Amino acid sequence: MYHHVDGYLNFLVVEKGLSLNTLEAYSRDLNRYVEFVEQAGIKDIREISSDNVISFLGNLKGGGLATSSTNRSLAAIRGFYRYLLTENIIDENPVASIELAKVWMHLPDTLGREEMAVLLRQPGTETPLAMRDTAMLELLYATGIRVSELVSLVMSNINWQASYLIVVGKGNKERIVPIGRTAFDCLNRYVEDSRRRLSRGKSVNIIFLNRSGTGLTRQGFWKIVKKYVKKAGLRKEVYPHTFRHSFATHLLEGGADLRSVQVMLGHTDISTTQIYTHVTRERLKEIHRKYHPRG
């Protein structure tokens, strides 16, 4: 059965253009699924029933896997069976009647405007690395791009005349995101001064470089964030994705429309963006409780 999984993953690469991270997640989920059904004594993929799929999902849940992760596994299996039907490998779909488990919406962690301002002040501009870090943090907050998108930026992704980024997101889909005056100035100073020194005379297309003159990794950037969170004295848990959440929340709090925020974040489905309206409503409730005499 594993060769069917490989065929499906190749299909996703060629036909769907899914990101490497998504493909790796699907590969883990589907190989774990095949391993489970084979241990149950099933060798032919056409013999798998809906009861087998439900048993697999129950096994995941019983092993402490989060509901969201269980749902992702089911989504991977659904896509797999759609592929098998299209290729005439199976005649019936055993997951057709299985519903996704309800996932309670967890509100993302965000920083307030003042907390974000304190954090953005931490790197400074005294050294090439400090100037780089300031540019990265400002750009991340100004655009809401993902960390993977940030560290992958190349010089051609910047339109210096119009002050916007051309971001290549999930599924190799491009989107245009305005940079904003403050982030643009920081980025320009970094490119004109610090980046030249960090590149050590090498011809490098990646924008944000490490001490060796090569591109940063996501893990490297995560260490940078942790350093400045500690320096800022913030007690909240702050992750690189917190910048993206804060970007969307602050835009909506300022009156931006949901559709525009969706486009800038690169969400295919607006329902993904709607979680941030829940964040702003929760914050309004908090303000009301704090300041209203009957709150």
CA distance 207 to 223: 18
Residues 14, 18, 66, 240, Cα dihedral to 10°:
160
* Greatest Cα-to-Cα distance within the chain, rounded to the nearest angstrom: 68
CA distance 128 to 126: 7
User: Is 267 part of the annotated catalytic residue set?
Assistant: yes
- The residue with tokens 């896509």 is 79
Q: How far is CA 293 from CA 123, 283, 284, 290, in A?
A: 41, 17, 15, 8
User: Is 276 part of the annotated catalytic residue set?
Assistant: yes
Tokens standing for residue 61: 């849940």
User: Is 146 part of the annotated catalytic residue set?
Assistant: yes
User: Is 244 part of the annotated catalytic residue set?
Assistant: yes
CA distance 244 to 109: 10
Tokens standing for residue 192: 């004109």
Tokens standing for residue 29: 């989920």
The secondary structure element, H or E, covering residue 285 is helix 275-291
The secondary structure element, H or E, covering residue 79 is helix 67-86
Tokens standing for residue 212: 């060796």
Catalytic residue among 146, 195, 245, 250: 146
> Can you spell out the DSSP letters for 113-140?
HHHHHHHHHSS-SSSHHHHHHHHHHHHH
Catalytic residue among 170, 175, 197, 283: 170
Catalytic residue among 132, 244, 245, 250: 244
Catalytic residue among 8, 83, 190, 276: 276
Return the active site residues.
146, 170, 241, 244, 267, 276
